[in-house]
Amino acid sequence: MSLSAWVPIVGLLVLGALFSLFSVAIAPIVGPKRYNRAKLEAYECGIEPTPQPIGGGRFPIKFYLTAMLFIIFDIEVIFLYPWAVSFNALGLFGFVEMLLFIGTVFIAYAYVWRRGGLDWD
Amino acid sequence: MTFLAQSPTLQDFGHDVWWLVLLKVVGVFAMLLLLTLFTINYERKVVARMAQRPGPNQVGPNGWLQSLTDGLKLPFKEEIIPLTADKVVYFLAPVISAVCAFTAFSVIPFGPMVSIFGERTPLQLTDTSVAVLLVLACGGMAIYGIVLAGWASGSTYPLLGGLRSSAQMISYEVAMGLSFVAVFMTAGTMSTSEIVRAQANGNPVNLLGLEFTAPGWYAVLLLPSFIIYAISAVGETNRAPFDLPEAESELVGGFHTEYSSFKFAMFFLAEYINMITVSAVCTTLFLGGWRAPWPISAINDGMFNQGWWPMLWFFAKVLVLLFGFIWLRATLPRLRYDQFMRFGWKVLIPVNLVWILALAGIKTLQNKATDDGTRYTIIGALILAVLLITLLWPSRTPAPAPNLEEQLARRPKGSYPVPPLDLQVPPSPRTRRDVAERQPAMAGGGAATDETGPANSDEKEV
């Protein structure tokens, strides 16, 4: 199959990019500017903003853990897709293979669950 | 079937002349902008009606131009960039969000083959053999827009909102991706136009010797997948009741707290386009796409499935789904973050995996190539597996609640003394007096104390 079916996707992407870049760039030009020192501080409901290191500083390990679990399951999903598309052609062999694969991931899932990796406390 | 000839196949894509491609691209783009303006008003009106208010009714006929004027106002407002912001990323984040939202819509089918200015072409921008993957990829990239917006603002609330949003979106993306597997299995393809075609006819089902035609819509045929998709779509678009990244009561505006003027408008636009996109994907994958619903589709040998009619059914289905989104927002309170994550990881994903395996098992059994011996082996193995899992499933005994001394001992050394978690506050003397007055017959003796919970003896004398 030729790549010509992909051209409209790129077209829409470019149009969307042009539109959003244009509007993001034009806004500071057409909008008013009234300098005020307090306006430029980070918003924290009116109190003095907490000094925060640029680049995030430290945040809970749970977010990393979720990201790692996501990688495991997303790869599982990606492996499931081609199997699902050609499911009818693969027949019993494909079914058993996928049973083993999902079973393996399921053991990891049960392990993570029991170790409390899925709890958010 | 005459109308099936109208249905585009993958070979019909990629042959358009350049001006037709341009026309379609601009058409989809303009439609997205218009639909967004409409949806904002639609949402405000519906939510207002549900709260017994009139909603916007001043600008334009019945207030339908309210969102347009709001949008035109925004670029003429001052743009405030906090000093702590990382300028380049701060600038790019809304662009990433908007571009991903626009691009995802390029594979949504609106209708069958039509002729535009004498050119025969499918009523769809384009389609590829991995079209649904493109939608998922755009959803994945959209996370960058939100996380980078939160990170680049250099402020506390946006950072928290961005982090929450990233964890939430990747969690629900897994559930969403898994809910598609059953659709691909049944349709045998990942191209959107072919999935619509696969839902055109009902499947003949032979259940216990009873022949009947199951409806073609995957929402009926694959109901668990549909439900899981509907739930995870709400989580994926950060909409109420899963709108934790912009929980107003906790995080002000979440990841876009520090954004103003047209950069804020870009995030707003992206959110609404994402809403429309997931509704359109739901329509395509589960609700028969642009095909007319059953009683209408039978009229006059599929007359309403031809030409430009399907646009009507498509948008009608999308609007019904959008109404569902708005209804949820007007009805349900926001979930707590840990409940929300637990629901995604501990309910949606395992249910989805079991459902996929069950469906694969059923399909293998139905397969004509499978002989009887294998069939019984599979059924036996499945029963054995279920028995083994139920036998080996570890029973959970609840941990005993720690008493006061244990809780005190668990505290880090030198920390400020805090009351225990299960501290029972004795009722105030006034409450006790009020209760006593309300129930004069029970006032004397221990009855009143029973009503107001355990009270210790020194409180009584106050």
Asked if B367 lies within 8 A of A31 by C-beta distance, the reply is no
Q: Using an 8 Å CB-CB cutoff, list chain A residues near B13.
A: 5
Residue B299 has pLDDT above 50, yes or no: yes
Extract the tokens encoding B399. Answer: 């941990």
Nearest to A43 among B105, B257, B261 (CB): B257
Q: How far apart are CA B425 and CA B430, in angstroms?
A: 14
So what's the pLDDT on residue B319?
A: 92
pLDDT tens digits, A42-75: 777 777 776 665 555 667 778 888 888 888 888 8
Cα dihedral B432, B438, B444, B450 sign: negative
Nearest to B155 among A9, A19, A42 (CB): A42
Residue B287 has pLDDT above 60, yes or no: yes
Class of domain A58-121: mainly alpha
Between A119 and B299, the more confident residue is A119
So what's the pLDDT on residue B210?
A: 65
Asked, for residue B227, whether it belongs to a domain, the answer is yes
Residue B436 has pLDDT above 70, yes or no: yes
pLDDT tens digits, B41-82: 999 999 999 988 988 888 888 888 888 898 888 888 888 888
Number of other CB atoms surrounding residue B125 within 10 Å: 24
**Which residues does B167 contact at the CB level (< 8 Å), separation at least 6?**
A62, A63, A66, A67, B341
Q: How far apart are CA B259 and CA B145, in angstroms?
A: 13
Of A70, A56, A79, the closest CA to residue A109 belongs to A70
Q: How far apart are CA B133 and CA B104, in angstroms?
A: 10
So what's the pLDDT on residue A55?
A: 53
Q: How far apart are CA A2 and CA A44, in angstroms?
A: 53
So what's the pLDDT on residue B460?
A: 46
Give the range of the structural domain holding residue B220, as residue numbers without chain letter: 74-385
Q: Using an 8 Å CB-CB cutoff, list chain B residues near A93.
A: none
Nearest to B338 among A7, A109, A121 (CB): A121
Q: pLDDT-derived band of residue B349, with 50, 70 and 90 as boundaries?
A: confident
Q: Using an 8 Å CB-CB cutoff, list chain A residues near B125.
A: 8-9, 12
Strands B203-207, B210-214: pairing kind:
antiparallel
Scan for tokens 């809970």, then name that residue.
A60
Domain count, chain B: 1
So what's the pLDDT on residue B450?
A: 47
The β-bridge partners of B211 are B206
Q: Using an 8 Å CB-CB cutoff, list chain B residues near A92.
A: 364, 367, 369-370, 374, 378
Omega cis (within 30) before A60: no
**What pTM was computed for the model?**
0.79
Asked, for residue B279, whether it belongs to a domain, the answer is yes
Domain spans of chain A? 58-121
Q: At what angle do helices B156-187 and B261-286 cross, to 10 degrees?
A: 20
State phi, psi for B415 to the nearest 5 degrees: -85, 165
Residue A3 has pLDDT above 80, yes or no: no
State phi, psi for B109 to the nearest 5 degrees: -85, 135
Asked if B181 lies within 8 A of A119 by C-beta distance, the reply is no
Question: Rounded mean pLDDT of chain B?
Answer: 80
Residue B350 has pLDDT above 80, yes or no: yes
Percent of chain B scoring above 90 in pLDDT:
9
Nearest CA in chain A to B256: A43
For chains A and B, CB pairs below 8 A equal: 235
Asked if B83 lies within 8 A of A69 by C-beta distance, the reply is no
Asked if A73 lies within 8 A of B367 by C-beta distance, the reply is no
Asked, for residue B192, whether it belongs to a domain, the answer is yes
Q: Closest approach of chain B CAs to the CA of A103, in angstroms? A: 10
Q: Highest mean pLDDT: which of A40-44, B278-282, B415-419?
A: B278-282
So what's the pLDDT on residue A94?
A: 82
Mean pLDDT of B324-337: 87
Q: How far apart are CA B151 and CA B86, in angstroms?
A: 8
pLDDT tens digits, A63-116: 888 888 888 888 888 888 988 888 888 877 888 888 888 888 888 888 888 887
Q: Highest mean pLDDT: which of A34-48, B7-21, B269-283?
A: B269-283
Asked, for residue B277, whether it belongs to a domain, the answer is yes
Asked, for residue B394, whether it belongs to a domain, the answer is no
Q: At what angle do helices B349-366 and B156-187 cross, to 10 degrees?
A: 10
So what's the pLDDT on residue B203?
A: 65
Q: Using an 8 Å CB-CB cutoff, list chain A residues near B101.
A: 16
* Contact by Cβ (8 Å): B245, B253: no
Percent of chain B scoring above 70 in pLDDT:
85
Extract the tokens encoding B238. Answer: 């950060």
Mean pLDDT of B262-288: 89
Q: Using an 8 Å CB-CB cutoff, list chain B residues near A95.
A: 360-361, 364, 378
pLDDT tens digits, A16-31: 899 988 888 888 888 7
Residue B449 has pLDDT above 50, yes or no: no
Asked, for residue B446, whether it belongs to a domain, the answer is no
**Which residues does B113 contact at the CB level (< 8 Å), separation at least 6?**
B6, B7, B8, B12, B120, B121, B122, B123
So what's the pLDDT on residue A57?
A: 63
Q: pLDDT-derived band of residue B3, with 50, 70 and 90 as boundaries?
A: very low
- What is the residue type of B212? F
